[in-house]
Each structure stands twice: as C-alpha cells, then as structure tokens.
Amino acid sequence: MLTMLLFLLSDEQDRRALFALYAQYQNAMLRVARRYFPDDPASAEDAVQGAWLWVIEHFSKIFEIPCKKRGAYLTIIVKNNSLALLRKRRELPLDESLSEGEAALDDSASVLDAIRAMPETYRAVLELRFVAGYTTREIAAALGLSEGAVNTRVSRGRALLAEKLKKEGYTL
Amino acid sequence: MTNDELLRNALLDAAAAEFAAELSDTSPAVASARLLRSMRAMLNDPNGWARRRRRPVWQRLARAAAMILLALSLSLGALMAASPTVRASVVRWVTEWYETHVLYRFSGAYEGEPLESLPRYEITAMPEGYELYRIIEHVGSYGVIYTNENDDFLVLDYQRMTQGAAHDISTENVVISDVEINGCPGRLFHSLDPEVSSGVIWFDENSDLSFYVDGFFDDLELLRIAESVCLVDSTN
C-alpha cells in the first residue's frame, strides 16, 4: 500500500496536470474503449475509469513520456484495460501462438507495420512491459497468461523488434 | 537511448497511428451521467477517488448489509420494551439531526397484530440486471439486497414505526431534499460521491411502516424505484 501511495498525485501541480490530461484526452479515451465494446457503453466507461485509476496510481510515469506521445500512451492504457476486461469475461481468445507474432515480423515489414500486425495479446504484453512498465506478474494477471508465457513473449518480442529498430535507425 | 526506450517509442508511435482517428476527433464523446459524476469526483480529489475505486466489492456489499443491520439493531429496543403485538394507534417520528447523520426515531404505540406479521413488499420496477443477493429479516423489520453484474447494490428495507425503533442515515457529502412517495412524506439523500449510493426514506402511516431504498441511481430513477414498492403478500 505504501508503495502505491508514493505514486499517487502529490500536490496541486499534479492535480492540474491530471485535469489538463483529462481535458485533452478523455474523449479520445472513450472512443478507443468503444472500439472494444461497440455495443456495451457501460463496459467502455469501466475501461476508461480503469485507465484513469492506473494513471493516478502511477502518475510519475506520465512525465517519462514525451508530451507529444502522451495521447498515444493513454490510448495504450485504455486499450489494455479493455483487453483485460474482455479477457476476464473470456471474450478474448488465448490461443495466439508466438509463431503468429514472429510471422508478422518478416524482413519486408517496417517496425511499425510489424507491431500493428502482431496478435493482440502478443502486442499487449510488449506495451504493458515497455510502455506502462508493468511487472511480469501484473501482465500475467491482466491478460490471463502464465508468467512464463509473459516472459517468453517479452524476451522474443524485444529481440525481434530490436533488430528491426536498429536496421531502421529508429530514434525519437 | 536504450533498446527498451526505442521499443517504447516504437510502440507509442504504432498506437498513435492505430488510434489517429480517435486522437484527432475533438468533438465531445457521449458519456453517461454516472461516468460524468465519477470523473468530476476524480478531478476534485484524485487520490480519494482512486482509493474508493480500489475498495473491494465485498466492502460495498457489506455496506449494504450494514445499512439494514443498523436499522435492525436500532429496532431491538422496541422489541424489548414492547408487548408482542403491534399496531400504531398514533404514528409519530422524531427527526434528530447530528453532525454526520440523521436519526428518525419512531414512537408508535402497540396494539393489534403480532410483531411477526410483517407483510411482504417488493420493488416492482426492478432496474435491469439486478438480482436478489440476500435477505435480512428480523421481527418487525425486513431488508433485501439486490446486485447487478457490476456489483452495484440496491437495498429495500422497511420496518414497523414502533416505539423505540429508529432509522439512521449518513448525511456526509449528500444533498437532502423533501420528497413525496405515493402520497407519503419522505426525504431524498442524494450522494455527491459517485462511490457512495443515494437513498430515499418515506413514512407510510396507513401501513405503519417506514421504507428505505438505497442504490447507485440518479434521483429520478431512485424515486421511480421507490414509488414502485408495492405490497405483494399481506398474509403475514
């Protein structure tokens, strides 16, 4: 509990920063959630509230993200909250194999195309680890995977994408 | 820049491209009244909102049960002091205001039917998705809790307005207004905290019962539910 509280908003400046994020991105976050729950507005709103809860409890992380990428950061948090909800209800298949993820990474694809072509849970593991900073256990709990499966996806995804990133000279 | 940071930026760029339409659409998205209330609470007190969101489901349901049990415990004084029969020849209640709660203390006299004979009332306009969770019954009092798939609860609680019985309602962070439910006087307790339910109490002198309905609804819906409470079995 103490660890969690350390990441909560600490002062009025943080509160204003949260308000600014809300004003700029709340509508986009709702629309992203609705992609995953087109006929279930209540669940879409739950996913958005879950995303804000995560943002507040890990508020310092938002400042590690460049300003112009914070919208994308929030969409990733909402998307993965939506996937976690779907997973909890067993409405998201679990049988995406690693080979599918690797198949998306053929030589001709750019790194962004390769990421977009990944199976949803494969990509979600990488996003939760490298963008949201989840631990292995947190990813496993959120996506309903074993910790071994998470570690395998992380290490292989990292190796495969790192090679492409270097080839493309990918920087900020 | 490390490989992990490069990877993070690539994942962010991929998300920005995937959700470009959502991120560039500046028109307001439709949101429910419940979400708007919750978001207002979040912006007012982010840490408090986060703590309440993390409160386990069992605590929320336990709170519903506690409302009923509190009314029951307050009624026990009546049982100890009264004869085994009850009918209020003169129904009265006194409203006692405290800093954090209001206490409705009843003072009906005893005569007539046995205490055990409490008729069955039900919510006839049950909101969609709510199912029976638990019944808490005691002599002179009857409470029922319904829940939905989000673990929101809806409580119907009623009791005899007999000497020594009482009903206690928290007044912290609520707006209180006088209402009328099917011709009976009552009060609405509108919660300003989206994580705390709203409630309505009313007093039916004809049946000698006080009713209380509590749940996560806006005022109109809560009043509609309250007005739908009907006698379904008077054999008791």
Joined together, the tokens standing for residue A141 give 């709990």
Tens of pLDDT, residue by residue over B175-223, are 999 999 999 999 999 988 777 889 999 999 888 889 999 998 999 999 9
Q: Quick one: average pLDDT of B113-139? A: 81
Q: Which of residues 7-66 of A touch B (CB under 8 A)?
A: 8-9, 14-15, 18-19, 22, 25-28, 30-32, 34-35, 41-42, 45-46, 48-49, 52-53, 56-57, 65
Residue A172 sits at the chain B interface (C-beta within 8 Å)? yes
Minimum-distance CB partner of A30 among B15, B29, B50: B29
Identify whether residues A51 and A8 lie together within a single domain.
yes
Q: Which has the closest alpha carbon to B198: B224, B164, B162?
A: B224
| Residue listed under structure tokens 């849970």 | A121
Tens of pLDDT, residue by residue over B154-179, are 999 998 887 777 888 888 888 999 99
Question: Which stretches within chain A are classed as H helix?
Answer: 2-7, 12-36, 41-57, 59-62, 70-88, 98-103, 111-117, 120-130, 136-143, 147-168
Degrees (nearest 5) of the Cα angle B14, B39, B130? 100
Same domain assignment for residues A88 and A109: no
Residues of the domain holding A146: 94-172
Percentage of residues in chain B with pLDDT exceeding 90? 29
Per-residue pLDDT of B87-116, as tens digits, reads: 444 457 788 888 788 888 887 665 555 556
CB A72 to CB B12 under 8 A?
yes
Domain count for chain A, please give it. Answer: 2
Do A85 and A106 fall into the same domain? no
Average pLDDT of span B5-21: 91
Domain identity same for A7 and A67? yes
Question: Measured in whole angstroms, how far is the alpha carbon of residue A28 from the centre of its chain?
Answer: 15
Q: Are residues A80 and A106 in the same domain?
A: no
Of B173, B172, B208, B171, nearest in space to B187 by CA: B171
The reply to whether A69 and A115 lie within a common domain is no
Residues A3 and A82 in one domain: yes
- Both A52 and A73 in one domain: the answer is yes
Q: Which of A92, A119, A153 is the last residue of a domain?
A: A92
Closest CA to B167 of B111, B227, B107: B107
A17 and A66 in one domain?
yes
Are A146 and A108 members of one domain?
yes
DSSP state letter for B172? T
The residue ranges of every structural domain in chain B are: 57-233
What's the mean pLDDT when you consider all of chain A?
A: 81
* Token couple for A81: 């909250």
Residues A41 and A117 in one domain: no
Q: Which of A70, A92, A114 corresponds to the end of one domain? A: A92
* Residues in B touching A123 (Cβ below 8 Å): 11
Rounded mean pLDDT of B41-54? 83
> Do residue A4 and residue A76 come from a single domain?
yes
Q: The CATH number of the domain where A114 resides is what?
A: 1.10.10.10
Among A residues 99-158, those touching chain B with beta carbons less than 8 Å apart? 111-112, 115-116, 123, 126-127, 130-131, 158
CA distance B66 to B54: 20
Residue A9 has its nearest CB partner, among B18, B46, B53, at B46
Residue where a domain stops, chosen among A56, A76, A92: A92
Of all residues in chain B, the one with the smallest CA distance to A80 is B15
**Interface-testing mutation among A54, A55, A56, with chain B (most B C-beta atoms within 10 A):** A56
The whole-model pTM stands at 0.59
How many Å is the maximal CA-CA distance in chain B? 85
